[in-house]
Amino acid sequence: MPVFAYKGLATTGKQVSGVQDADNLRALKLALKRDGIYLTGAHEANLRAAEMAESAVGLAAFLLRPAAGLRARQLRRDANRSQVAILTRQLGVLLKAGIPLSEALGALVDQADSPSLKRILADVKTQVNEGSALGDAMARHPGSFEPLYINMVRAGEASGSLDTVLFRLADFLEAQNRLRGKVLSAMFYPIAMTFIGTAIMGFLMVTVVPKVTAMFKDTGQALPWNTRLMIFVSDLIGGYWWLIAIMATGTVYGFRSWLQTSKGRTTYDGLILRLWLVGPLARMIAISRFAKTLATMLASGVPLLAALEIVKNILGNVTLTKVVEEAKESIKEGESIAAPLKRSGQFPPIVTHMIAVGERTGQLETMLENVAASYDIETDMRIARLTTLLEPLMILFMGGSVAFVVFSILMPILQMNEFVS
């Protein structure tokens, strides 16, 4: 069924626009009339036209992907993760109520607030009406539906339990969104305080310190080492700020380029896992993600090797990714999952032991869910402790920096008063 982008007038006289599917323009006009909208203009919204229109206002870009016999252009606008989780649960509710898939997708199209997401869902519905499987239709939009999502949907379709899989997938996405929010919240405070502290110190060094310390240079008096250091830093920032900015930019660019290399990424991720406080937290988050994702996919009917292939790409750490890849190769040779994970030394013994028990008892999904639940609780506790520790450390650092400047100014003044006395 074609998808039309339309413009019209509501009964209140307000101009409205949107996207809706209809068999033809006449059917579109009748449908809008029932909604109290008078049609003033419409055109078929193919993916290329819709995508270029959004690019003009900076909302999306389009990706060219050659595919024989199919439209090769598709949206790359990433749907908000929370929106994807919501529509996943809504689709599961509609299917569980016995509503046909095409009609359920139509309801989601009408309800979607984001124009980008509305167009994506409209295209998915069109593909389903033309005979495509839901997973294949969603695979046309990798920016919105990740491989994990698509594989689980395909497994649900194959097993005839799509509604159950969608509920499980919605729970998984919501849990991942909560974890991501907690991590970002924990990172926000130190980053914000660092920028604020840097701005305050820069202001002091460039504007306040030069005016106050100018009188010290005229006296010819021997200054304390901290005052000389403060004057040196102030002169350096005030006179060579442009060079500092260039060096900082070059350092950031060089670091990012180094991270894009295989050796650089491996070294960096290995270092992260060994850092005090940060390393154990990063490992817990990755293992929780590994256990939760693998459990969700296995429970949805995705084969183990296919599940591991997807799971290894969402860990966010090259060191752990290589461990999962080696485990995948070992499984192909007839070995269990737990043995290669244990040999790597990167997974805690309790995790490998629970996985081994789950394999022996045929309850691997349950054991993985228990691991994920336990690590989620531990992650929350560690994030809370880390945030509690960072707050006084950042306050101490900023207070110490300001105290250094104040004492560096006061000490020469006190020495001058003693000399005069």
Per-residue pLDDT tens digits for 378-420: 888 888 887 778 778 888 888 888 888 888 878 777 776 665 5
Q: What is residue 275's predicted lDDT score, i.e. its pLDDT?
A: 87
- Return mean pLDDT, the chain: 78
In degrees and rounded to multiples of 5, residue 24 shows phi and psi of -160, 180
Contact 79/54 with Cβ under 8 angstroms? no
Distance CA 380, CA 373 (A): 11
Q: What is the pLDDT of residue 64?
A: 32
| pLDDT above 70 coverage of the chain, percent | 83
Element (H, E) at 42: strand 37-44
Report the pLDDT value the prediction gives residue 66, as an integer from 0 to 100.
35
CA pair distance 4, 10, nearest whole angstrom: 17
d(CA 138, CA 125): 10
Q: Which of 32-36, 217-221, 351-355 has the lowest mean pLDDT?
A: 217-221
Q: How confident is the model at residue 276 (pLDDT cuts 50, 70, 90)?
A: confident
Kindly give, in sequence order, each residue whose CB lies less than 8 Å from that of residue 171, ignoring residues fewer than 6 positions away: none
Between these two residues, 148 and 134, which has the higher pLDDT value? Answer: 134
At residue 60, what is the residue type?
A
More confident residue, 75 or 86: 86
Residue carrying the six token digits 């290995």? 270
Whether 48 has a pLDDT exceeding 70, the answer reads no
Q: Give the helix ranges, DSSP H, for 333-363.
A: 338-344, 349-361
The answer to whether 216 and 412 have CB atoms below 8 angstroms apart is yes
Q: Where are the domains of the chain?
A: 1-45, 196-421
pLDDT at 214: 72
Q: Phi, psi at residue 73, to the nearest 5°?
A: -100, 140
Radius of gyration (Cα) for the chain, nearest Å? 30
> Cβ distance 3 to 19 under 8 Å?
yes
Burial 178-210 (b: 16+ CB within 10 A, else e): ebeebeeebeeebeebeeebeeebeebbeeebe
Res. 65: pLDDT tops 80: no
pLDDT at 219: 64
Inform me whether the pLDDT recorded for 31 exceeds 90: no
Among the ranges 110-114, 149-153, 216-220, which has the highest mean pLDDT value?
Answer: 149-153
**43 in Cβ contact with 84 (< 8 Å):** no
What local confidence, expressed as pLDDT, does residue 353 receive? 92
Q: What pLDDT, on a 0 to 100 scale, did the predictor assign at position 413?
A: 74
| pLDDT (0 to 100) of residue 68 | 30
Distance CA 133, CA 117 (A): 19
Cα–Cα distance list, 207 to 118, 210, 246, 399 (Å): 52, 6, 21, 19
Q: Are 290 and 319 in contact (CB under 8 A)?
A: no
- Coil vs helix vs strand at 41: strand
pLDDT of residue 72: 32
pLDDT at 312: 83
Regarding predicted confidence, which is higher, 41 or 219?
Answer: 41
* Positive/negative CA dihedral, 143, 383, 194, 242: negative
Predicted confidence at residue 114, as pLDDT, reads 77
- pLDDT higher than threshold 90 for residue 56: no
Task: Name the nearest CA neighbour of 88 among 144, 18, 21.
Answer: 144
CATH for the 196-421 domain, from 3.50.90.10, 3.50.50.60, 1.20.81.30, 1.10.760.10? 1.20.81.30
79: CB partners within 8 A, 6+ apart: 114, 116, 117, 120, 143, 144
How much is the average pLDDT of 186-210?
A: 78
Each residue's pLDDT tens digit, 101-140: 888 888 888 887 778 888 888 888 888 888 888 988 888 8
| Model pLDDT, residue 73 | 38
Cα 123 to Cα 20, 158, 227, 418: the distances in Å are 11, 22, 68, 82
Q: 226-253 pLDDT, tens per residue?
A: 878 888 888 888 788 888 889 989 999 9
The total of other beta-carbon atoms located within 10 Å of residue 283's CB is 20
Mean pLDDT throughout 27-56? 60
Provide the percentage of residues in the chain whose pLDDT is more than 90: 4
Residue 373 in tokens: 């639940």
Confidence band of 184 (pLDDT split at 50, 70, 90): confident
